[in-house]
Amino acid sequence: MKKKYRERLIITILLLGSTSTLPAQKIAKIPAVYKPVKKEMYKKGWIDFNKNGIKDIYEDPTAPIDARIEDLLGQMTLNEKTCQMVTLYGYKRVLKDDLPTPEWKQMLWKDGIGAIDEHLNGFQQWGLPPSDNENVWPASRHAWALNEVQRFFIEETRLGIPVDFTNEGIRGVESYKATNFPTQLGLGHTWNRKLIHQVGLITGREARMLGYTNVYAPILDVGRDQRWGRYEEVYGESPYLVAELGIEMVRGMQHNYQVAATGKHFIAYSNNKGAREGMARVDPQMSPHEVEMIHVYPFKRVIQEAGLLGVMSSYNDYDGWPIQSSYYWLTTRLRGQMGFRGYVVSDSDAVEYLYTKHGTAKDMKEAVRQSVEAGLNVRCTFRSPDSYVLPLRELVREGGLNEEVINDRVRDILRVKFLVGLFDAPYQTDLKGADAEVEKDENEAVALQASRESIVLLKNEQNTLPLDITSVKKIAVCGPNAAEKAYALTHYGPLAVEVTTVLDGLREKLNGKVEVLYTQGCDLVDANWPESEIIGYPLTDNEQAEINKAVIQAQEADVAIVVLGGGQRTCGENKSRSSLDLPGRQLDLLKAVQATGKPVILVLINGRPLSVNWADKFVPAIIEAWYPGSKGGTAIADILFGDYNPGGKLTVTFPKSVGQIPFNFPCKPSSQIDGGKNPGPEGNMSRINGALYPFGYGLSYTTFEYSDISIFPKAITPNQKAQVRCKITNTGRRAGDEVVQLYVRDILSSVTTYEKNLEGFERIHLQPGETKEVSFTLDRKALELLNANNDWVVEPGDFSIMLGASSEDIRLSGILTVKEYGSMGTEETETDASVSASTNPEMTNNVLDNNLSTSWEGNKGDYITFALENGAKVDGLSIAFNRANGLPAEFEIQLSGGGGQFLTVYSGTVSEYNKLLPFHFKGTTASDLRIILGSDRIGISEVKLEQLKKK
């Protein structure tokens, strides 16, 4: 492995023309288990961080976290506190050393450091190959090196406060190698909560095995302008979808506090004026209501429902107030209203921008004061930590900043460090386990499934796809992305994994059975790009020759596969565009191949929606693959030849032209309808109307029928819940996935609301002819609006409930009525008197209706109670649970002999769902039985209890 790694690095460096040489020192043998040096510090069950021979409260793993924080904080000097409030960027970014040196005892971090970011993760700078340092890889070596850095802070600083090793991880943890997933935009198109949870679990687990304790993911920005360079990093345009997937990603990452997840970018970041990037990350063009409904919504839910431990404050201002210096956003809203209990880290130069860009601070010192008072915990940027810490200390000494504010900021930092176990298990000791865990087969299988599920079939005229491997003798493959790997190796994810290109995937799939011809056809962009988007430069002789070569091969073949789109040159951070058309000579290539008359399949690999209008009109089959990760070529080949039936659905809108922007989902009523409909000299049409492909759209190799919508109850009060159900049948000949989408519209409201709000979705797999019932629960969040007084309210009235295959393909609909409290008739709320519940009482009948597809639902601490026959002796019952994410859930069974006192007779964990499971306990006489939920978002679909009191 080491030899292969070094050979690859030598080749890369030679190709780039670098004069750097690889390190000559011998690589030491890495032990299977890491053991620190100063053994006298490491006691049985605790660590003597301050080396005083006494178990201080902060060193006691059994003490409450708040007590440990206060004990440690009380021992810290100002220098030690301020060192916790800054990040030291890792090797070759700011830190020149890969391992501790004697000079560290004279550096700022002799008093500790809050975090070290991207240390030895292999990333050097944009455009450079991965670092050739010997401690970058293999995983065991990397984990050992981070342990050695951690050991300096534990053994060589006064209080031994461990450092938080932070890193990127939006498509897998950023490392020389790790499990490589599709970019976050691709992951969004899976619409699969359980899969995203697995992605988070793997990302967090691999990060911790490599030595990292905090991962900067997920992106909770909501896409609004398709020109934006970072569109590849969002889950989609729907705040509900971003929240749902963000919750599962964070829960997976933070499972058992294996790492802290840091969501970004807070707040109102993803809608810059004209989608401009770079220094122009300012002035988002949004009303206060849009900020709340679209951009605040995901952060609020992920913080409150998943316990997000980190937030990155964004560069931009909003309504004239830089977020970085806004007490309102970083304290009043984030901590006060959302209940955030982690720490806020700045996005690169967000602090410096207060005086270099926004002009709201006169110098760095003032920028530091504003940021800390607003609520910033840790400054993170590619600068020496001294540039932040020294002004911070001056401010306290001069009286410009109260030290109690510093104490508050440090409390948050220490809380996260305690939660992720840095004071109890600061080292990743299982070095051998790191080699076994990172990129293991089970993780790679999840990555391949994510690649498959992320792909969307946009067009399939006359069932061009899937291809029949037995009837095709020769395939022509062309396009700048056909043999490209770089889309899977961008920053913020694994850097040097093996990538299966589309060409590789096809060759492996066909395995010599079909001849595969290949030529590139054209470059990703031409020599004059992006100016060539507004000036039609003629093709050069070389460009025409390469297109001609692709045409000749297409003429020889039975089918042509053209792989186009974008890449690192056209999309990514600081790479916003002024057009959504195919860049460079790609459309010229596509037209030329299409003119051969051979069947053409367009495969798009890109990081944003593209206005492929010509292809939509003339090319028979189009597949959108986004950036499908290192397994993308395999996944695409599986879909092209029918070994996998595509089921992804669009989480973004495809405009026909940038002239339509803003054009996105959700939108206000009629806001995306425009002008006349009759083209030509005698018509009344003045502009292109409608989406090329709408939000939620996606085709399949099979067909699905929707039927039997039911809404129960049909009338509720504002805090009650309703269940919406329907049946989906696979009416085709292939097994496939359908993403059932639930939309809600407030028909009459005091303020204008969105035309359709996504408020539920479920990806289901159906065999040919199979029918499944899908159930959604609508709660208060699905019906709320922000009224004129900025209060979240559910206004009485009718709500349109829509079920469909996309936002424009609505198959079923009905009406849910919300009534004022006290106005409901008993016929509307009738329930079985023998059953009651702490929440959702209108749903209690669902547990006794002999139907596993209906349920009562609740969160941790909620309960459902059953009245028993007089003198009943109970020793067991059967319960069917359900849980959307499929994770194990805790619960208790309690009995009461009267008087309202309940005693626990059974505590357990359930991991089998949607079937009756028996539970037994010591029999006793009781008047009531109660089931208490120990986890969130659990449903009880059926209860069988012989002693239940009859009506």
Annotated catalytic sites, by residue?
347
**CA–CA distance, 351 with 353 (Å, rounded to integer):** 5
Q: CA-to-CA distance for 467 and 639, rounded, in angstroms?
A: 9
Residue 537, both tokens: 């430069």
Question: How far is residue 877 from each of residues 550, 874, 949, measured CA to CA in Å?
Answer: 69, 8, 14
Q: What does each C-alpha distance from 520 to 486, 562, 564, 640, 756 come to in angstroms?
A: 15, 9, 10, 19, 43
Measured distance CA(184)–CA(170) in Å, rounded: 6
26/222 Cα distance (integer angstroms): 48
Count of other CB atoms within 10 angstroms of residue 392: 25
Cα gap 477→480, rounded to integer Å: 10
- Are 439 and 177 spatial neighbours (Cβ–Cβ below 8 Å)? yes
Distance CA 625, CA 155 (A): 49
Decide: residue 36, CB within 10 A, 0-12 exposed, 13-18 middle, 19+ buried.
middle
Q: How far apart are CA 501 and CA 490, in angstroms?
A: 15
From 379, 381, 373, select the one nearest 408 (Cα to Cα): 373
Q: What's the rounded Cα separation, in Å, for the pair 565 and 573? A: 17
Give the span between the Cα atoms of 775 and 781, in whole angstroms: 17
Give the DSSP letter of residue 128. S
Cβ within 8 Å of residue 730, ≥6 positions away: 702, 703, 704, 736, 738, 766, 767, 768, 769, 770, 771
**Encoding tokens for residue 933?**
């939920």
Amino acid at 619: V
Q: How far apart are CA 403 and CA 441, in angstroms?
A: 51
Structure-token pair, residue 945: 């209890």
Closest CA to 563 of 510, 487, 511: 487
Residue 730, beta-bridge partner list: 704
Give SS3 for 810: strand
Cα 173-175-180 angle, rounded to 5 deg: 55
d(Cα 253, Cα 420) in Å, to the nearest integer? 11
Asked whether 149 and 113 are in contact (CB, 8 A), the reply is no
Distances (CA, A) of 6 to 2, 28, 715: 6, 15, 68
How many residues belong to the chain? 951
DSSP code, position 595: T
- The position carrying tokens 């504003």 is 370
- Cis before residue 36, ω within 30 degrees of 0? no
